[in-house]
Each structure stands twice: as C-alpha cells, then as structure tokens.
Amino acid sequence: MQKPVNATYRIISNSISILASDVMNRISMFLTYALVARFLGTLDFGQMALAFTYFNAFQMIAVAGLQSYITREVAKDHDKSQEFLLNASVVVVITSSIAILVLLLLVQILKYNVDTSVVIMMLSLGLIPFSLAAVCDALFQAREQMHYITMANFFVNVLRISGVLLLLWWKGSLQLLVGFFVLTFVFNFITKISILLRQIKHTGAKLDIKSCLIMAKSSTTFLGINGVNAAIGSFNIILLSKFTDEVQVGIFAAAHQLLTPISLLFESVVVGVYPAMCRGFESGLDTLKRMTRRAWEVLFAIVMPAAVTLFFLADSLFVFIYGNEDFTQSAFVLKIIVWNLVLRASSKVLGVALIASFREKKTLQILTIDLITMVILGFILIGKFGVLGSALTILAVRIVDFIQHYIPVSRMLQKIEMVKLLWKPASAVLLMALLFIFLKDINVIAAALTANIFYLAALTTILFLTIGNIDKIKTEYLSLKAH
C-alpha cells in the first residue's frame, strides 16, 4: 500500500514543480517586457520582441528534439544518466552552433538594420547554454526530480528580474540588457549541472560518436513536431518585421504579451487534466467524452470572461501596464487577438482528447495545415494591412486550428453538442459584457473587478437554477475521474 501512495505523491509533486517553474519563467519574461516598455519605448521593445522570437524558434533546432527522447530513455534506466548527459551535451553544442550560424545567415539575408541585427545575434549566443540546460532538465524529469528544475529557475529568475531593473535604471541600453540575459542562461546551466552531477551515478561513461548519431537520429520525430510549432509561433512576427518595421513588431508583441497570464492558466489546467483523460480513454469513449465536455466547459468558463475583460479595457490597460502612451496603438490589435484565448483553450482540450486516444499523427497533420494557412494568409494580409493583418492572420489560423480539432474529436466521440455544452458560461459572460458598457468611465481595476464579480454571481445563479445544490455542482464539474 505504501508504494502507490509514494508514487501518487511523487507525480503530484513533480507536476506542481513543473507548473511552478513555468509560472516563474512566464512572469519573469512578462515583467521584462513591461520594464523595457516603460524605460526604452516601442522601438527597443520591438527589437527585443523580434530577437526573442528568433531565439524561441531556433532553440527548437538547438535542442534537436532531444528533451523528450532523453526523458523517455533515461526514465527506463537511471544508470544511463551520465552517458546521456555527456553524449547529448555534445550533440546540442553542435546543433546549437549550427542554429547560430543559420540564424546569422538569415539575419544577413533579411537585411535588418545594424542595431536590430546586433541584438538578435547577441541573444542567439544564449542558445548553447540554454540547450545544455535543457539536457539537464530532461534528465531531472527522467529521474523524477523536477523540484531541482524549479529551484534553479527560481534563483535565475530572481537574478534576471533584479538585473533587468538595475540595468534599465542605470544604463538604459538594450544591448547591455541582452548581454545580461545571455549570462543568465549560462548561470542557469551552471546551477543545474552542479546539482545534477551530485545526483547521478558516475559510471565512467565516455564520449561515443555512434551513440551521438543514434541519439540525433532517434529524436528526429520530436524535432519535426517542435519545428512546426516553432515556425507557427515565429513566422507571423518575422513576416511583420519585414513588411513593416520593429516599432510595429513592438506594438503587436505588447498586445500579445497581455494574453500570457491567461494562456498560462488554461495551459496549466490542460496539463493537470491530461493524465485523467488518458485513463478515461482506457475506460471507454463514453468516459473520455464526458471528461472532454466537462474540461472544455470549465476552461471556457475561465477564459471567456478574461477575454471579454481584455477586450473592453484594452485602451486603458496598455498605459496602466506599460506606462507609455505609444503602446495605446496596441489596443486595436488586442481587441482582435484576444479571441485567440477562447479558440486556443478549446483546441487544447480537444487536442488532449486526440493524444489521449493515440491520434498523435492527426495532431502533426493539424499543425502542418496551420503552418500552411499562416504562410498563405500572412503574405496576403500582413503585406496589405501591416500589424492589423498580422492580428487577423493569427485569428484566422486559430479558427482553422479549432475546426481541425473539433471535427475529428466530434466524430470520435459521436458529437459533443457545443452549444448545449457552453451556453451557461456564454450567457453569464454576455451579461458581463453588457455591464462593461456602463463601467467604461471608471478606473480600469475597479471595472475589471466589478464585472468579473458580477460574472461569477451570474454564472453561479445559472448553475444553481439548472443543476441544483452545491454538492451536485461539485460532482458535475470537479469530478473528472474516470468511472
């Protein structure tokens, strides 16, 4: 009896550790963007956003899909930790160096101005320590020691935010700030490797070129999936930077950053429900259908009021958060892309249902069609409408993505009945939207709090009228266990 308890505790502890680490990283980046906006303005903000777009895209090449492969293999035999640490580190140093060279070539081809090119290439140097730290993360995950990832990331993020604030106050230089970021990647790797070397068993493993080649070949599938995701995440901003300029990139990125906290929330909910949905599939499609419906409705009830709040308060939020009147131009962008939250949250739940039912190939097909849609619409809309076209492209791709998820899941689960499923939170959020019309002239925080409290009251009333007492409501929505 003791072993299952320990196993359950370990799973919960590791899940919380990964979530906490992700939260810290997202908050750190959000604060960095907000501080750069306040101290440096739209041009430097746009240059930094473009540099991190390239960094996030090319880190997929740098890591070479090895994280998932290492975790899967070492989880079977912890004694292979030293062997994988050594060989995988060599592989990612090589792939990171290739990624930096490819990025250097791409920047030269696209002919950015000197300041922007310098910022992009300076940040790209962080790919090597970032990838080495990713190898350490994979080994911690395989060994079910995720708390060490959280511990290291905590110290790095405290250092990062403190350093960013100090450097912006002291010097106000974007290049100096990016150089400091590269140093934090190095510090992150040193911290993690120091902890890892004390945890793993030293087996005297040596560099094996054959093992390196096998490792690189075996991770190509993961690299393919990550590569498509990276292209989808970066293509829109890169295209915007070429059709317009870095200022327009900053305007778009400022709007997109305000979606980060809500995105993190619903992604965490999806991660939490994923194991239960996998077990639900084993119990039968009826169980998976029930769990998918409930997870979707709960997520919709969380995300929809957040989207409506951002839509109505967009004009005031940018001055409040970024402290810079130049970012008020981002308001109309936010009013378009805010609906991505609802579409992404819905697709996430449906995507988990596909993966839980062993339909990974369908996921890759969906991503490929998303990328093709983004390329075609991006050239048409961004070329003609600039930053507005960029927002419309993102929204259109999300609609296509949702349709691609909904149709196969609906067929698999024999219709989900979306309208019947979502009418309760939709009705409450409609009343909330009407209230916002009368709150437009009051303080932004007061308006947000008042409207969301009203939404909760309206939704609670609807639930009591349609379901019954609190115990029945808890059973209906909080019990996602497979029966």
- Greater confidence (14 vs 428) lies with 428
How confident is the model at residue 5, as a pLDDT? Answer: 43
Write the secondary structure of the chain as one string of H (helix), E (strand) and C (coil).
CHHHHHHHHHHHHHHHHHHHHHHHHHHHHHHHHHHHHHHHCHHHHHHHHHHHHHHHHHHHHHHCCHHHHHHHHHHHCHHHHHHHHHHHHHHHHHHHHHHHHHHHHHHHHHCCCHHHHHHHHHHHCCHHHHHHHHHHHHHHHHCCCHHHHHHHHHHHHHHHHHHHHHHHHHCCCHHHHHHHHHHHHHHHHHHHHHHHHHHCCCCCCCCCHHHHHHHHHHCHHHHHHHHHHHHHHHHHHHHHHHHCCHHHHHHHHHHHHCCHHHHHHHHHHHHHHHHHHHHHHHHCHHHHHHHHHHHHHHHHHHHHHHHHHHHHHHHHHHHHHHCCHHHHHHHHHHHHHCCHHHHHHHHHHHHHHHHHCCCHHHHHHHHHHHHHHHHHHHHHHHHHHCHHHHHHHHHHHHHHHHHHHHHHHHHHCCCCCHHHHHHHHHHHHHHHHHHHHHCCCCCHHHHHHHHHHHHHHHHHHHHHHHCCCHHHHHHHHCCCCCC
pLDDT tens, residue by residue, 361-405: 787 788 889 989 999 999 999 989 998 999 999 999 999 999 998
How confident is the model at residue 483, as a pLDDT? Answer: 42
pLDDT tens, residue by residue, 287-311: 777 777 888 888 888 889 999 988 9
How confident is the model at residue 25, as a pLDDT? Answer: 82
- Greater confidence (365 vs 12) lies with 365
pLDDT tens, residue by residue, 244-270: 888 888 888 888 888 877 777 777 666
pLDDT tens, residue by residue, 26-48: 888 888 888 888 888 888 889 99
How confident is the model at residue 280, as a pLDDT? Answer: 65
Residue 164 has pLDDT above 70, yes or no: yes
Q: State pTM to two decimals.
A: 0.75
Could you tell me the residue ranges of all domains in the chain?
Answer: 1-250
